[in-house]
Chain A
């Protein structure tokens, strides 16, 4: 016996976004350091920033409004427009 039910799910199939090509090196690249605003995440990014600069990268700091919400689309666009690399810090 087969019964049709009304699905509570959104059945749309979403294609996975392919990964961007990996850069061969860091020197001369722009790295955006994204702070999601979790506790002590900025400390981790400070250290990453120092290491990236030592390797010849240009660094830019960015931050989400709050860790518990997805990043604003404007922020994502801004990062995508200028970054060769992104480092996102999760901490606690």
Chain B
């Protein structure tokens, strides 16, 4: 940092004209700034911490200086909107002006670094300047202004650091490089994620090494969960963690993300087919067990909707693993004709405490105290309103027939699972009547049937064509193709059904959530 005052034998130098934009309508000139006395130009830029410090320390003095005849202006080597935002954030009470590349004003003032404070007297000559933060030199410069004005001017408090070097002026950098540095995309890490293609179309959290380390916790990053279809990118734990960071997960969710990934990568799930199909196949993630409460998964009001970080980010992390690590990019290897919002991510938790039945993971052979993730290839949910049924038979009939068009109107029977998410009020009706899950499944299986002859139109199945026209064909090939979970708010009689991903041979797969990953 240097302090420079014109020596007695040095000719006073006229302050160069300003090529800047201000916040007001009029042109900003040296004459205008010195009309009331002297002007203090503080050259700064957004990226420089010393500039920020100078503005924070000098800013609160500006109003009193103005009243005494010293007009202070911050001259930003940044766009005006950036300048205004930064000045406001730093408590700068003086004027704000902005210069664009190639920073003609900074060049005219022969700037090497910022901050640089330049004192201009009423005659428009440069009375002195200070480069960097130098408390003593700045106090002297302000004292010089006070002498010129014949007034008292406050100086900043002498707090550490008293000396701090500045940063390079953008005028001292190659103009093209300076322009690139000031481009918004180059300094915005969220935009950079879009430019890299590390996104599902929504903003993501940039996976810095620190964030990925935090996500991994004690686990090493090199262990692999296996190749991710369709392009068989290797799912190292580090990449899974990167996807979890991108999705917005907290580290506490990571064991659930890993369990979901392990389940989805099981060949029995046939993620390959789901990832590339023209169907709208999503990967529904159902979480059971104590981990639900531990990480705050919502199984209550709005269980299938927005508002809860673990639900939204865990499902999204799995989908990002498929689209980024696995290469299942929509419109490229992912050939889904229309897609569906569940392909962004779809994670739900079962409300085991409200359910009258054994939870999904217990049905699938786990203990109630185990935390388990189950993945199911699924279509989007269809909401089913029933506020009028007064018997379990009527309610089961309404719920079952709502799924009659799952996959396609006349595609009977479905081999693959349909998932019914039963709301608490509907579940209560079955509980009060003593209906087990198996009874509900069996009822739907027996009741939702149509004569084969009525199904022979448009897309239908070989089984329909093979059957006697009067034979009643069931919607599902077996009661086991009906999956029941309980979730939703305590008020309102809305359940939902998610149709299947068909023709894939995709099985439901469950994996225990292991507290220690890797």
Contact = CB atoms under 8 A, between A and B. Distances in A.
Interface in B84-101: none
A65 to B, nearest CB: 8
Contact of B246 (A3, A8, A10, A69): A8
Interface residues of B, number: 34
B503 A67 contact: yes
B61 to A, nearest CB: 31
A1 to B, nearest CB: 6
A6 B272 contact: no
Contact of A8 (B47, B198, B208, B272): B198
B243 interface: yes
Contacts of B233: 9-10
Interface string A26-54: 00000000000000000000000000000
B376 interface: no
Please classify how large the interface on chain A is, using the bins under 10, 10 to 19, 20 to 34, 35 or more: 10 to 19
Contacts of A12: 234
Interface string B185-211: 011010000001010000000111100
Q: Is the interface of A mostly helix, strand, loop or mixed?
A: loop
Given A68-B503, A69-B273, A3 B324 contact: no
A68 B189 CA distance: 38
Contacts of A7: 198, 207, 239, 242
Given A68-B273, A69-B273, A5 B206 contact: yes
Contact of B270 (A3, A8, A69): A69
B504 interface: yes
Interface string A1-28: 1011111111010000000000000000
Given A66-B504, A66-B505, A68-B505, A8 B273 contact: no
21 contacts: A3-B208, A4-B208, A4-B209, A5-B206, A5-B207, A6-B207, A6-B212, A7-B198, A7-B207, A7-B239, A8-B239, A8-B242, A9-B233, A9-B324, A10-B232, A66-B504, A68-B272, A68-B273, A68-B503, A69-B273, A70-B272
